[in-house]
Structure 1
Amino acid sequence: MRKVVILGTGPAGLTAAIYTARANLQPLVIEGNEPGGQLTTTTEVENFPGFPDGIMGPELMDNMRRQAERFGAEFRRGYVTGVDFSRRPFRITVDETDVIEAEAVIIATGASAKHLGIPGEDENIGRGVSYCATCDGFFYRGKKVLVVGGGDSAMEEANFLTKFADVTVVHRRSELRASKIMQERARANPKISWVLNAVPVEVLADERGFKALKVRDKETGEERLLEADGMFVAIGHKPNTDFLRGQIDMDELGYIKTIPGTAQTNVPGVFACGDVQDSRYRQAITAAGSGCMAALDCERFLEEVAAQEGSLTK
């Protein structure tokens, strides 16, 4: 039996671990299949407060983990394959066989950017291939970049990137999927050009990183290279919540619903923080802030439960 089990080790999960450990709740943190979260695939982080010269993503995550361990947080490698939130203590199944019981659970499993799934893409993440314009756009000041996608997120990324670079939007269809207002805004931007009906085929790179995207014309079948200094893939995110279906309230996209202004879910004693419940901001600093909220809400919940149980025994 654990007082608190935290699922995930990105900025949200590690911040929750720091706060719950300092509250003497002795949290157990399940690391998942990507310890450190998405920041471990990011090179330099320049927008996290407190690091005026920037910090490498993996180093930032390692610092957070060591800080949590200093206060007594315990870490365990493993992948959560199922949960039972129907009654307390909650039951968490790790790697399909091990069952952990907990008085409270903080879910910080994050969201994963959808990948194109083409050769050369994953090998060049952090080497010119990015999934976050807000995180990496600054590095392309005065350069040329591609944005792959045709939805609202792609239009938003493209418009943002024009603050720094010339942008070419690449989309596999002749028509965009974005809302009318987002399309109009992007098409009115003189720094955005368009390559439509172009199916991404392969990412080409050299020793310095991304060099070009090979695309195939959907109508003619002709292939060509789109040379640029970097590429931003903006085809959406998927929250890592498949293992929670039927156990907790989620929206139509799979993001966990929380009570506004709190980290509390519809299940008392279960809290959610970070990108797993945030489809809008998806930043390390907002994830960390919501991790703090989840820890404080969790601490108050356990105090209230202890007080109620104490009054019942008198």
Structure 2
Amino acid sequence: MATHTTRMLIIGSGPAGLSAAIYGARAMMKPIVVQGLQPGGQLTITTDVENYPGFKDVIQGPWLMQEMQAQAEHVGTRMMWDTIVEVDLSGPPFRAIGDSGDVYEGDTLVIATGAQAKWLGVPGEMELGGKGVSACATCDGFFYRGKKVAVIGGGNTAVEEALYLTNHSDDVTLIHRRDSLRAERILQDRLFAHPKITVLWNKAVERFAGDPLAGGLTHLELRDTVTGEASDLNCDGAFVAIGHAPATELFKGKLPTDDGGYLIVEPGTPKTAIPGVFACGDVMDHTYRQAVTAAGTGCMAALDAERFVSGLSIALDGHAEAVAAE
């Protein structure tokens, strides 16, 4: 076991965490990034990325994260292959204990643990991921221009994604396992009034069908939740929109969260309820959930962390001068 100390400790290595590391390293804070169970975050399981600024051609998610990590390391970030299992936020310094037994201490703490899309857990879902099955219409809807698509879910996210997809498709089907939606009434009104959207009530997806190696998704196998009747729905793309689960288990009872489990921050900032502890990316953003917005909040967290450490240094210097004078 070893103890690692830094001016800025970052938990999570997706776009938010690595952007925070790049800015922190350039501010001479010598950041440490503890990468977690999924180094690189959700983009490492994403294939084509066409909406990240700076690339005129489609790029691959894993490649983008490799480049971000290389940039962070180039400017002075230490990457640690470990998973945090416990945190102590009574600092500064703030302490985190890794699964390895190592202890990490930081004058500031940046939480960038992200969130994971919830999946149905039915056959074909993972096999056809990126080949017709997605959990983000904003990310992948552009690839289905002029094609038939389906959205699975009944809340705000599902309705918003169905409406968004009408920008690319003239044939959008919303599939919901009940006979009424949970979405806000204003969203439902827009959905029902839209001529490009059809709603299938009381239907559950039993299987995503198709060949991952030849053409991808071809259709959905459905089951009627009332009668049990089986049916198929032909489609080129299917978007699972049943919510996200932010990775905030470590911070339960230590930091405030909203009803969805996302960390609460001061509006317009990455500041949590504890001075010196910042949250960025999908762990605090239940609205946008994009790589570019995560990177932006990572930048904000690093800038605020640098200001916090500067203030801490001034306070400590002032205290030392007062002690010396006595």
Q: Shorter-chain TM-score category?
A: over 0.9
Contact in 2 for aligned 1:81/1:96 (Cα 8 Å): no
Contact in 2 for aligned 1:146/1:170 (Cα 8 Å): yes
TM-superposition CA deviations, 1:99-133 (whole Å, max 9, x none): 22221110011111111111111122111111111
1:204 aligns with 2:209: yes
1:312 aligns with 2:319: yes
Q: Which residue in the other structure is 1:249 paired with?
A: 256
Q: Which residue in the other structure is 2:70 paired with?
A: 66
Q: Which residue in the other structure is 2:324 paired with?
A: none
Which of 76, 81, 92 is equivalent to 2:85?
A: 81
1:170 aligns with 2:195: no
1:13 aligns with 2:14: no
Q: Which residue in the other structure is 1:193 paired with?
A: 198
Segment of structure 1 superposing worse, 185-194 or 79-88: 79-88
Q: Which residue in the other structure is 2:142 paired with?
A: 138
Shift of 1:31: 0.8
Structure 1 spans left out of the alignment, 5+ residues: none
State the percentage of identical aligned residues.
Answer: 53
Contact in 2 for aligned 1:82/1:96 (Cα 8 Å): no
Distance 1:261 1:193 in 2: 37
Shift of 1:245: 0.4
Where do residues 222-241 of structure 1 align in structure 2 (5 Å cutoff)? 222-241=229-248
Segment of structure 1 superposing worse, 167-176 or 35-44: 35-44
Distance 2:46 2:144 in 1: 15
Shift of 1:4: 1.3
Q: Secondary structure at the match of 1:309?
A: helix
- The one-letter code of the counterpart of 2:310 is E
TM-superposition CA deviations, 1:267-312 (whole Å, max 9, x none): 1110111111111111111111110000000011111101110111
Which of 157, 174, 182 is equivalent to 2:187?
A: 182
Shift of 1:97: 3.3
Q: Secondary structure at the match of 1:303?
A: helix
Shift of 1:2: 2.0
Where do residues 76-155 of structure 1 align in structure 2 (5 Å cutoff)? 76-95=80-99, 97-155=101-159
Q: Secondary structure at the match of 1:216?
A: strand
Q: Which residue in the other structure is 1:50 paired with?
A: 54
Distance 1:125 1:240 in 2: 21
- The one-letter code of the counterpart of 2:281 is G
Shift of 1:225: 1.6
Distance 2:129 2:28 in 1: 38
TM-superposition CA deviations, 1:231-268 (whole Å, max 9, x none): 00001111110111011121121111111232111111
Q: Which residue in the other structure is 2:274 paired with?
A: 267
1:41 aligns with 2:33: no
Distance 1:98 1:116 in 2: 36
1:157 aligns with 2:161: yes
Distance 1:96 1:178 in 2: 43
Structure 2 spans left out of the alignment, 5+ residues: 322-326
Which of 284, 290, 293 is equivalent to 2:300?
A: 293
Q: Secondary structure at the match of 2:116?
A: strand
TM-superposition CA deviations, 1:192-244 (whole Å, max 9, x none): 11211111111112122112111111122121221100100001111110111
- The one-letter code of the counterpart of 1:228 is C
Contact in 1 for aligned 2:82/2:100 (Cα 8 Å): no
Shift of 1:59: 1.1
Distance 2:286 2:189 in 1: 23
Segment of structure 1 superposing worse, 216-225 or 147-156: 216-225
Contact in 2 for aligned 1:255/1:278 (Cα 8 Å): yes
Distance 1:78 1:168 in 2: 42
Distance 2:194 2:166 in 1: 8
Contact in 2 for aligned 1:143/1:229 (Cα 8 Å): yes
Shift of 1:87: 2.8
The ranges of structure 1 where at least 4 consecutive aligned residues each deviate by more than 3 angstroms after the TM superposition are: none
Shift of 1:96: 7.0
